[in-house]
Structures are given as C-alpha cells and as structure tokens.
Structure 1
Amino acid sequence: MSFDYDLFVIGGGSGGVRAARVAAATGAKVALAEEYRMGGTCVIRGCVPKKLMVFASEFPNAIEDAQAYGWDVSSGDFDWTDFRTKMHAELDRLEGIYRRLLDGSSVRAYDARATIKDEHTVTLSTGEDITAKHILIAVGGRPVKPELVNVDLGITSNEIFLLEDLPKSILIIGGGYIACEFAGILNGLGVEVTQYYRGAQILRGFDDEARGLIADQMRDKGVNLHCGTNILEMERRDGKIWTKATNGTEATFDQVMFATGRTPNVEGLGLENVGVNVGRLGEIIVDEYNQTNVPSIYAVGDVTDRVQLTPVAIREAMAFVETVFKGNPTPVDHELIPSAVFTQPEYGAVGLTEEQARDQEPIEVYTSSFRPMQTLFAGREDRVLMKLIVSQATRKVLGVHIVAPQAGEMIQMVGIAVKMGATKEDFDRVCAVHPTMAEELVTMKSPTRTA
C-alpha cells in the first residue's frame, strides 16, 4: 500500500517535534500537525514562561540581600505589562525556532487539528485526509478543573501567562508542583497569595522531609498556605471572587487559580475509531517501545501519563525513532529520572524518597540542614536540606533530595552519579568544593537515622 507519508505526527510539542525531525533525518517522509502553537506546553504555556516568572519573582529578595551586602539599591514597583510583553516576545522567538527546525528537517508542518480516521489515516480540520505508514500521537495534556458551581470564574496554569493585569490577591487551589511553584512566583511578584490543598501536606509523592521544609519556608515567605482545606463555593461579587472553604473560611480574591491536576489531551482525537486502548484517565496505553495496541499507532509524552516531564517526552521520541526508523528496538528508560520543582526554595530530587526506600529494604539516611552562607550573612532565616538515601546491603545511593537555591542545577549533576550506581563510599571519596552548599553531599559521614 502506498502512503502519503512514512510518519504523521499529531502534536507540535517537544516530543512530537523531536520525533519528526529525527525520523526525517533517516530519510523518512514526515509530516506534523499542530492546532495551536509550535512548542507545546513546555515552550508556550509551561516550563519556559514559568521559569521566566520564577526569575522575575526572585529579584525582591536579591535586592534586599544586595542592601545587606552594602549596595545602595532599592526595589521599585514591578511592571507586569512590561515583563509580560517581553516574555511573550521570547515565546514567539522560541516558536519560530521550532518552526525553522521542522522546515530545515524537511518536515511538512500543518497548522491544523488532526484526528484519527483509521489506523493509517488522519483527517485535518481543513477537511483533508492524509495517509501514513505510522502515526505518532504527541498531543500532551491539559489542566483540569474540579466539578464546582461557577468553576469557570477561575483560571488554570494555561491562562496565568495571559493575564492583562497582575491581581492584588489570588487563591490557588492545589498542592502539587504547579500550585506550589505559582504560589511562590506570585508571592515574589507582590501578590497576596492564599493556597488551599485538601491533603495533609503539599507535594504528595515527594520526600516527606523535603515537603515539610518547603511548606514551612513558603509560609515564612508570606504564602498563606492551608492544608486539609478545599474550596466549597465561589461566586462573583462586586468584581471580585467570593469563596467559601471547607474549614468555614469566607474570603474574597481578585483571582482564583485551579492547579488541581492535568489530564491527557485525547478528547475528540478519534481513538475510538480504531480501538486504541486507553486507561482510566484517558491516557493512551503503550508498551515499552511506545506502541499502542494498534500496530501502526504510537504515542509519547504526557498523553501516555507515564512521566510528565519534557525531557522524558524527548527521550521517548528518540526511542521511538530508533525502534521504528533505525531498526534498533529501544525500550524507554524511566528509571532514576532527575527532576526539579521550582518552588521557593527550589527542590531537586532523583531516585527514591525515604518513605519508598524504607518500604523496599533496610536503609541509612544521611541529612544536613543548615542556613546557607549567602542568606545567613544577609540576615535571612532560609534553610537548605541535603539528603542521601543509602541501601544498607549494597551501599548504593538510592535517592538524593536537595532543597536549596539552584537545587535543579545540582540534581542534574548528582543524577549522573546515581544513574551510574554510585555508592555512599563513592560520594565520600570525592573531595569537597568549599565553600559551597553542595559540599555537604560528600561530607556527611554518619547516618542521621536508619530504617
């Protein structure tokens, strides 16, 4: 059978674009459809604009620290309009790069929505049917709101970057990394931030000790964080949003943001037309080679709801091309993935939490928590945490957890050692770099506790 393309990719985010480009480099004829903007969640409404907002939000503390170090400086007002204009100009620039990369790779890009018609055919929103030997679904995920009367009065992480004006006050619902990151960002930009989370502690799934330190410091920095609390009611009153919480609190805010989870973006995609298996949340079920139960259809990235991280989607895309277009069956490796949460303080982690590890085997836990030199000198009460989880039997470092400024930068390097199977003694053999925060990772000689 003759096809229009060897590969048709649905979705122009990090995973889809990488797969299209690398497949085309093998000589395959490739096309890609994106209904919104090239770059996907990460570039357009996720990692990149969020990190720019993190940078912006950290300047008030930096200016205070500069004063403590003898600089005659002062902080003026934050100009949201000016910042937002520059941020979107940067996103436009990055989207242009994505488009040029596709064009330079001879990938045909369609600015249209694509849905699956049959196992080898997609239908574009222009009405055109296109056939392909292989179809790759890389449509990502989207934020979801809870079922609540007047829930549309609130926004999600998609809209936060598009606000015309920065609110004076905001209620953030949720306790995951998105909720906590934006609580810190908006607090740093001068917004009065209240955060409700229905669970007992924020950042569920991460290390308990790290979660506790982050929650304490968020409160110390001015975030009005309430755990064990959820929203019951909301309505528009006098131009603001009135809310009632499960703890009985009634309060009014300029804005309410829901960060209550994300779901695979499969609605209306046409999966039922070919019988692609999906899970309880709509996630596309794939094997270790990213293949669905329909042999010609594959999926990578957040739409599979495995590990929702941009670099993971890219690695899955590379494994897909190795398997399908290079004849080198390559399973996806989801073990020991380093990650960073851009809370304030920042959190970097790789491997098991203390709770996960102690349920698996006997462990030693090494911890060091202290006030770092830079902010101690400036008179701030900030604390950092360095934590190693070590197997008693093999001496392997099973997990590393860092709560500190630039924790994401540190965990990238530490992740290499953990991925290589480094032992506690390997860490001990490394000479410390002094004076740094990270030197604690190689100078902790006695376990804090065993479990």
Structure 2
Amino acid sequence: MKNYDVIFIGSGHANWHAAVALKHAGKSIAIIEKDQIAGTCTNYGCDPKILLDGPFELLAQLKQYNGIGVTDKTTIDWTALMAYKHKVIDPLPIQMAALFNQLGIDVIMGSAQLVDKHTVSVNDQQISAENIVIGTGQRPAKLNIPGQEFLHNSRDFLNLEKMPQKIVFIGAGVISLEFATMANELGSSVEIVEFADHALGAFDQRHVAKLVDKLEQSGVKFHFNEAASQVISKNDHLEIRTNNNLQIETDYIIDATGRIPNIENIGLEKLGIKTNRGGIVVDDHLRTSVKNIYASGDVIDKQIPRLTPTATFESNYIAQQLLGSAGAINYPAIPSVVFSLPRLAQIGITSAAASESEEYHTQVIPYGKQLLFQYKNEIDAELTLILDKNNYLVGANIYGNDAPDLINLITMIIDGHLSANKLDEMVFAFPSASIGVISLISIMLHRD
C-alpha cells in the first residue's frame, strides 16, 4: 500500500491549491478525480460561462451608445463561439494534469471510497495518508417530476452547439438569469418558471426588480408562483406544465433549481462523518467529525456563498492548517456576482439586513448618471452603500455592467477597514471609471 502525507478527493479549486502548496512544502500528495481534472468551475462552470459571455457584454456596451454615435450591427455566431470555447477550455484539464505531474503530485483517475480514517480505496487498490481532504463539490439538482428525462442542466447548456429557438428555464436563480440573457440576445424565445414570487432571492430585490424589468422589456417572460409539475414530449417539441395549469411549448428545458453536495458513495457513513442536506458538517478548522479528515469547498454545509473564490480560500487555509500555521478559519467579506446584463453584485451586510437594524444606514449612488462618460452611458447603473455607525463601509449592492470590478475594489475597502482619510491618502489612475466611484465613496465616508 502506497502512503502519502495527504490524499485529496476531488481536483477542483477546493483541493488543488492546497495540494500545490503542500507539495511545495515537501509533502507527498495524491489527488483522486472521477470526472474532469480541475473540477466544475474550470471545465463546465465559471470559465466557459465567462468566455461565452464576453461578446454579449461587448454588445451590451455598444447598445448604450445607440443614437449618440454608434449604430450597432454586430451579431453573435453561437456555433462559432462554442467552437472557440472548446478550443480554449477543453485543453485546460490536460494542462492542469501536466502541472500536477511536473510537480510530482500523483493523479489517480477513479472513484474514491473511504476505508478507514487513513485509507482510501480507488480502482481496486488502497492508498493511505496521515490526512485526507474531501473536496467533491456539488452537482445540479434534478426535479423528480414526470418527464424529467427531458430536462437539461447548466453543463448541457454550456455545450450547446446550436441555440434552441425556444428555451425554458426552471428556477429564477443565478444560472437561469445569466443563461437567459445570452439566449435572449441570440433571438430565442425565453421563458422562466419560478416557484417563488421573485428572482434571485439572495440579492438586493430593488436591483433584481430592475434586472427582471429590463429582461422583460427585451422579451423574456417570467412566470412566478409556478411549480413545474410535468414535461411532455409532443412530436417535435416539448411541453412543460405547472401546478397552476400553465402550459408552455418549447424546444429545450434547463432545470436550474439548485445544486446538491456530492456526499454519496464516498464512505462517509462508514466512518461516522456527519452530513446533512447542506453537505459535510465541519468545525472551525474545516475538520469533519473524524479529525484528520477535512472538507473543503461547495461540499461543506455552510451559510457563506458557495463560490470558487470561497473554495480557493478554504483550500489555502487547509494547506496552512496542515502545515501547523493556522488557527480557526476566519472568513473575510465575500463578494457575489450575477453575470447577467447588466451585472448584479453584492458583499457584506445586505440592504435588507441594514433596513432592519439601527446599526447601519444606506446611501444610494446613481453613478451611471453622475459618471456618464466614464461608465459608457449606462444611465441606470447604481450603487448602494451600507455603512455602520462609525461610517465605515460594511456592505454594498451594485447594479451595472462594471459591477464585478467595482465589487472587488469595495471588497478591499471593507476588508481593509479603510476610512475616508485613508482613501484620500491614495492616488488612483485618472480618468479611469473606477476612480470616480472611489471618489463618490470617499465623499459618503466623510459624512457624519
């Protein structure tokens, strides 16, 4: 039996950052992967999504200049764009595998089973380690309804060679609104069926309402308070039905009703490792109920956002933990972004939470109007700041195409606990777009 210092189950961001750091520290490492090397984000998640999104973002910016100097005649060839996606994304797991090999990390393809707290079985062989890290992530949930065999998921959408003429999304979460934006721009008939009475429940509902309204004006149909109950195949099309007898004829259906942790068939029960519907239960050192076995990334039961940067943060933390230089995990403020058009972003204390507490106050900045030329004539772009009693920034919500970059700047202000005076001591490039927002934030922080 081959012995390692650490065995990682899963090769995504939740694990490979720690694996590389520990290897550089002289540890012997094995990674077990049953699917694609480098995990969901790299192969059929964030990376291919943002690659495909790029041309749509450019088109959105061009449209903001319609009537003031630009006539938009650009179109997107989805088939050609998908071919480009395969050219760029498909080699990534091969490149990552080569990197692991170069570093001397053993990669074993297969399904891992915990035998005991130090032993893992894979491909009819057993290997052992002092510590084991489980980073098996999540997978798309699937509705248990008649006709579920006709449902597709986000992985399928990101490999569509041709965009369907009619497409229905079940669920009005992040995946649906991001993909619906692209399908709608390509001229597809897009409808979204949502059980709740609103979209994107975790985000600022005032900004969400603006986004929904914009999508509706562009032709997307939302059906709230509707639960998908059945899918029927009829000749050359599908029909989705709901509990309220809504019937929608379509060519393609995406089930985007959430994601569930990959905790089955690993042997967790055998070792008494505690789990629940949210995933693997861990302590404040990311240890499971078996103390030399850790969990990392989306498979953890947690309330903080399940995002690639969160998984990377946890992976880096586990490396330091195993090297003996980390105390209890202390999460920083974590930004979240919806890559719809326009984008939505948020971090820290939410507007909803601020409205229910006397500890906070909010300031709305219509930066799209105030910084018109810097933000490419995006008139309705808006920023909501949440400040504490001492006027330190503790949260923000953004509606606008530059939200991803702006939320990163705000993340540094929040995590650095920067005051207005500290911001004033810094010099930023001018006349960049972001310096305008930083100046507006500084003004708000100066207020008593």
**TM-score normalised per structure 1:** 0.89
User: Does structure 1 residue 144 correspond to structure 2 residue 141?
Assistant: yes
- Separation in structure 2 between the aligned mates of residue 422 and residue 223 of structure 1, nearest angstrom: 41
CA distance in 2, matches of 1:39, 1:23: 17
Equivalent of residue 201 in structure 1, options 194, 198, 201: 198
Q: Deviations over 1:195-219 (max 9, x none)?
A: 1212122111222222222222222
Q: Given the superposition, is the C-alpha separation of residues 65 and 337 from structure 1 closer, same or farther in structure 2, using an over 3 Å criterion?
A: closer
Tell me by how many angstroms 1:36 deviates. Answer: 1.1
Contact 2:374/2:433 (<8 A) preserved: no
| 1:261-340 to 2 correspondences below 5 Å | 261-281=258-278, 283-306=279-302, 307-324=305-322, 326-340=323-337
Question: In structure 2, which of residues 91, 98, 101 is the aligned counterpart of residue 100 of structure 1?
Answer: 98
Deviation of 1:184 after TM superposition, in Å, equals: 1.2
**For residue 116 of structure 2, what is the amino acid of its counterpart?**
D
Deviating more after overlay: 229-238 vs 344-353: 229-238
The question of whether the paired residues in 1 share the 8 Å contact of 2:10 and 2:33 is answered with: yes
Quick one: distance in 2 between partners of 1:20 and 1:263? Answer: 25
Aligned to 1:50: 49
Say yes or no: does 1:252 pair with 2:262.
no
Contact 2:65 2:376 in 1 (8 A): no
1:355-380 Cα offsets, whole Å, 9 max, x none, are 112334332211023557369987x8
Structure 1 counterpart SS, 2:91? helix
Asked if the contact 2:115–2:121 (Cα under 8 Å) also holds between the matched residues in 1, the reply is yes
Deviation at 1:354, TM superposition (A): 1.3
| Partner SS state of residue 50, structure 2 | helix
Residue by residue over 1:268-309, the C-alpha shift from the partner in whole angstroms, topping out at 9 and shown as x without a partner, is 11111111111234x011112111110221110000043311
> Does the 8 Å contact 1:386/1:441 carry over to 2?
no
Q: Which amino acid in the other structure matches residue 318 of structure 2?
A: F
SS at 2:90 equivalent: helix
Report the Cα offset of residue 122 of structure 1.
0.9
- Between the aligned partners of 1:435 and 1:318, the Cα distance in structure 2 is 33
What per-residue deviation string (whole Å, max 9, x for no partner) do you get for residues 46-65 of structure 1? 10111112113335445545
How many angstroms apart in 2 are the aligned matches of 1:313 and 1:255?
32
- For the aligned residue pairs, the C-alpha RMSD in angstroms reads 2.7
Question: Would the aligned equivalents of 1:175 and 1:203 in 2 still touch at CA under 8 Å?
Answer: yes
Shift of 1:428: 7.9
Structure 1 equivalent of residue 30 of structure 2: 31
Q: Give CA-to-partner distance per residue, 1:397-448, whole Å, 9 cap, x none.
A: 121111111210111111100112234676688889658476245437679x
Shift of 1:3: 6.1
Residue matched to 1:405: 401
Task: Show the counterpart of 1:395.
Answer: 391
Residue 165 of structure 1: how far off its partner (Å): 2.4
Relative to structure 1, the CA distance from residue 5 to residue 253 in structure 2 (aligned partners, 3 Å threshold; closer, same or farther) is same
Q: 1:84 aligns with which of 60, 82, 85?
A: 82
Structure 1, unpaired ranges of 5+: none
Indicate whether 1:20 and 2:19 are aligned.
yes
| Equivalent in 211, 215, 218 of residue 218 of structure 1 | 215
CA distance in structure 2 between the partners assigned to 1:435 and 1:32 by the alignment:
43
- Structure 1 range deviating more: 167-176 or 229-238: 229-238
Q: Give the secondary structure class of the aligned counterpart of 1:122.
A: strand
Listed one character per residue, the Cα deviations across residues 30-55 of structure 1 (whole Å, up to 9, x for unaligned) are: 11011111121101111011111211
Q: State the identity as a percent.
A: 26
1:323-363 alpha-carbon deviations (Å, 9 max, x no partner): 11x21124323231122211111012111111112334332
Closer/same/farther in 2, CA of residues 137 and 377 from structure 1, 3 Å limit: closer
Q: Could you say what secondary structure the match of 2:139 adopts?
A: strand
Output the CA distance in 1 between the equivalents of 2:94 and 2:68: 41
Q: Residue 373 of structure 1 aligns to a residue in which SS? A: coil
3-state SS of the aligned residue for 2:340?
coil
Moved over 6 A (4+): 375-378, 427-432
User: Normalising by structure 2, what TM-score?
Assistant: 0.90
Q: Equivalences for 1:171-182 in 2 at 5 Å?
A: 171-182=168-179
- Measure, in 2, the Cα distance between the counterparts of 1:323 and 1:334: 14
Code of the aligned partner of 2:81: F
